[in-house]
Amino acid sequence: MSRIVSSEVVRIYKGVHTWTGVIAGLALFIAFYAGAITVFEGPLSRWTAEGEPPQSIPIDRAERLIERVLAERPDAQAEFRLHLTGPERDRVYLAWQEGRKAATQWTAILDAEGAPVVAERPTKGAADLVDHVHRTAALPGGLEFGTTVMGLVSALYVIALVSGLIVWLPSAGKDLLALRLGRGVKRKWLDAHNLVGIASLPFHLAIALTAVVFGLHDSIYAGLDRIVYQGQMRPLMQASNPFAVAKPDARPAAMLPPSELIERVRTLEPGLRPLKLQYRRAGTRGASLVVWGEDRRHLVRLMGFTVMSPVSGEILDTQYLPGHQGLWSRIVSVFFALHFGTFGGEPVRWGYFVLGLAGTFLFYSGNLLWIESRRRSLARARDGSGEHIAQRRDTRIMAALTVGVGLGCIGGLSLAIALGKLLHGQVTHPGPWLWLGYYALFLGSVIWALRLGAARAAAPLLLVSAMATLCIPLASLLIAQVPLSQLFVRSGDAVVAVDAVALCAALGLLWMAWLARRRARKGATDSVWSLSEPSPLQPNPTAIHQHRESIHGQ
């Protein structure tokens, strides 16, 4: 293999791999850690609101529910959703909000006398925060700016993957699946880095390429519009938009019962399990209905859908209905499914969760390798003189950022999730409080690491992250008001999964805090992980000493 890839090519690509990884690594750590959690966004949402699910009524009362809500709440006419609940999806509740970015939604059912009962519920909870962090790495500037930046980061990610593969190829024969624990610190971390990277390469390529498309789709479409479509792409996209097939017509019109509309969809595609009916311009001739549902036989983002008229029952569009898709919509669905792991059921979701966490190790170990390379370079420069040479400031800063950003993200998300549980139903808009908790712990961790240095900050920050993660099952205990021994017995599957994983994570972080403390005390003294190293904000004492000697020698 070494004959195919020359040493000069390997040297060039090693530099490319190193610097693209260093530049993008911290943002990717945040995106992957949050992304691993978003795989279970549904259970997390149920965990946050555990004990207070929306009330529902039998589906045969849905038509009356729609009539009464539209009569008393005209703000719901523009768009509302009829959610199907229960094991057989035979119960419903109605929900709407003022705009897609609204922090509050309203839900409605009918009481025994047929009057609508409206309740207010927050939309921006812990699961929404985790998803936003995954998409934007919590960068300030809004969702659009953050996703664009992460699209660029993902492009660097693709380059790092390809260049890393080229660097690894010449030694593939002897390094494949190797993990040499007794060959020095750098060799141990390099083997672990390569092992995780090669074993999960298909997953990382799928995530990286789809993330580039998601983050830079506006720029990609703009380029295609100019080069391929000569400025005519927007009309073509509007014509193919499945949500634009129903033409506005404000004249009043009666709508068919939801149960009849669902039956027509099931006749069209028996494998689809309807979950949600999304009405627009309800009560008019131009009304449209999007029937969302799942079909586990096909690759879809979360749900497939078909568009129909709730007035006539006519099917208007099936390009995103599983089993009825064209080539382009199938490609789009595959892109979404590969990125979010929405296929194959629970085994695939847990696999994506583990691979996401393994991805955070990949970026963390990449930074460690860069730091260790700088230490070895200084050791060679020492040339056996026995003099202690402190690490360069850029190395100390990178080590501090690796610790502060990584643990700040872990602890910040854990704290926000716990707050989401505690504040649910207590405040009308919990979103700002959750973000305050996340940013306070994240920024505090980064500042703490930069001020004290990686060695002094690692163990305390691991302890803080462990305590923040332990707050998740403690929040369940506080809300449920049951003994610890009864928590997993009396709770639903979502609570058991979230609390059990959080408890295991907290114990793992405590173990790592012990390892970090031991490493700082007993490790090599010429490492940034040693207590003998100055903090990144302090000047390099060796450099000052050498500068003074040069002055005296003149």
Q: What is the 3-state secondary structure (H, E, C) of 183-202?
A: CCHHHHHHHHHHHHHHHCHH
Q: What's the confidence (pLDDT) of residue 554?
A: 44
Residue 84 host element (H or E): strand 79-85
Both structure tokens of 538: 């302090």
Lowest pLDDT segment from 8-17, 31-40, 256-265: 8-17
Provide mean pLDDT across the span 144-173: 88
Q: What's the confidence (pLDDT) of residue 69?
A: 94
Residue 32 host element (H or E): helix 7-38
pLDDT classification of 222: cutoffs 50, 70, 90:
confident
Provide mean pLDDT across the span 426-446: 92
Q: Give whole-number Cα distances, 472 to 97, 344, 482, 501, in Å.
A: 29, 28, 15, 10
Q: What's the confidence (pLDDT) of residue 67?
A: 94
pLDDT at 337 over 50: yes
- Mean pLDDT for the chain overall: 84
Q: How would DSSP label each residue in 352-404?
A: HHHHHHHHHHHHHHHHHHHHHHHHHHHHHHHTT-----PPPHHHHHHHHHHHH
DSSP tag of 60: G
pLDDT classification of 468: cutoffs 50, 70, 90:
very high
pLDDT at 1 over 60: no
Return the CA Rg of the chain: 28
Q: What's the confidence (pLDDT) of residue 424?
A: 83
| Count of CB atoms situated within 10 Å of the CB of 438 | 26
Q: What's the confidence (pLDDT) of residue 550?
A: 44
Q: What's the confidence (pLDDT) of residue 172?
A: 63
Q: What angle do CA 324, 325, 330 make, to 5 degrees?
A: 145
CA separation for the pair 403, 399 (Å, rounded): 6
Stronger pLDDT, 99 or 484, i.e. the higher one = 99
Stronger pLDDT, 119 or 409, i.e. the higher one = 409
pLDDT tens track for 358-381:
999 999 988 888 887 777 776 666
Q: What's the confidence (pLDDT) of residue 484?
A: 52
Residue 417 host element (H or E): helix 393-423
| Count of CB atoms situated within 10 Å of the CB of 126 | 29
Could you tell me which of 296, 304, 368 has the C-alpha nearest to residue 330? 304
Lowest pLDDT segment from 99-108, 203-212, 246-255: 99-108
pLDDT at 217 over 60: yes
Provide mean pLDDT across the span 53-80: 91
Q: How would DSSP label each residue in 159-188?
A: HHHHHHHHHHGGGHHHHTT---TTS-HHHH
Residue 8 host element (H or E): helix 7-38
Q: Give whole-number Cα distances, 396 to 451, 461, 534, in Å.
A: 11, 17, 8
Could you tell me which of 200, 129, 550 has the C-alpha nearest to residue 357? 200
- Ranges 233-242, 416-425, 440-449, most confident: 440-449
Lowest pLDDT segment from 26-35, 177-186, 362-371, 542-551: 542-551
Stronger pLDDT, 424 or 398, i.e. the higher one = 398
Q: What's the confidence (pLDDT) of residue 390?
A: 63
CA separation for the pair 277, 49 (Å, rounded): 22
pLDDT at 181 over 60: no
Strand partners, 95: 81, 107
| Count of CB atoms situated within 10 Å of the CB of 24 | 23
| Count of CB atoms situated within 10 Å of the CB of 424 | 21
- Identity at 158, one-letter amino acid code: V
Lowest pLDDT segment from 256-270, 349-363, 389-403: 389-403
Provide mean pLDDT across the span 54-74: 92
Structural domains of the chain, ranges and CATH numbers in brackets: 241-340 (3.10.450), 388-543 (no CATH)
Provide mean pLDDT across the span 306-318: 93
Provide mean pLDDT across the span 537-553: 52
Residue that the structure tokens 């995954």 belong to: 134
Could you tell me which of 15, 106, 128, 36 has the C-alpha nearest to residue 341? 36
Q: What's the confidence (pLDDT) of residue 332?
A: 81
Provide mean pLDDT across the span 5-13: 78
Q: What's the confidence (pLDDT) of residue 553?
A: 47
pLDDT at 52 over 70: no
Q: What's the confidence (pLDDT) of residue 220?
A: 82
pLDDT classification of 4: cutoffs 50, 70, 90:
low
DSSP tag of 526: T
pLDDT at 194 over 60: yes
Stronger pLDDT, 476 or 27, i.e. the higher one = 27
Lowest pLDDT segment from 306-320, 425-439, 490-504, 522-536: 522-536
Stronger pLDDT, 149 or 13, i.e. the higher one = 149
pLDDT at 151 over 80: yes
Any residues with CB less than 8 A from the CB of 292 and at least 6 apart, and which? 274, 275, 276, 277, 278, 303, 304, 305
Q: What's the confidence (pLDDT) of residue 505?
A: 96
Q: What's the confidence (pLDDT) of residue 186?
A: 66
Lowest pLDDT segment from 88-97, 258-267, 300-309: 300-309
CA separation for the pair 364, 22 (Å, rounded): 10
Lowest pLDDT segment from 114-123, 167-176, 255-264: 167-176
pLDDT at 105 over 80: yes
Residue 278 host element (H or E): strand 273-280
pLDDT at 539 over 80: no
pLDDT at 341 over 60: yes
Stronger pLDDT, 281 or 173, i.e. the higher one = 281
Provide mean pLDDT across the span 321-329: 83
Secondary structure tally for the chain: helices H, strands E: 18, 9
CA separation for the pair 73, 77 (Å, rounded): 8
Lowest pLDDT segment from 492-506, 508-522, 531-545: 531-545
CA separation for the pair 488, 464 (Å, rounded): 25
Residue 269: CA count within 13 A, CB half-sphere: 27
